Amino acid sequence: MYATVIYVNKVGEMKKLVEEGKVKYIGLSEASASTIRRAHAVHPITAVQLEWSLWSRDAEKDIIPTCRYVLPDSVLSIMNA
């Protein structure tokens, strides 16, 4: 929970950079489904990067469905381990 709050606070700071024109898009790496939802509530998330392999299938339960629902027009970058 504490890590999610820190992540969302950073998204809030990044939002200021977007508003100033210094950053165009915001993406997250290795974020949980709840973090993606909370961060997207602060500012639209454009990309999510995560690990997905035969040994790491956890993303199929929560993260990928969340991205399809919350971020339908965003990019999902998948790293194979």
pLDDT band at 41 (very low <50, low <70, confident <90, very high): very high
Q: Which residue spans within the chain are E strands per DSSP?
A: 27-29, 47-51, 75-79
* Cα separation, 12 vs 44, whole angstroms: 11
pLDDT band at 23 (very low <50, low <70, confident <90, very high): very high
Q: What is the pTM of this model?
A: 0.80
pLDDT band at 13 (very low <50, low <70, confident <90, very high): very high
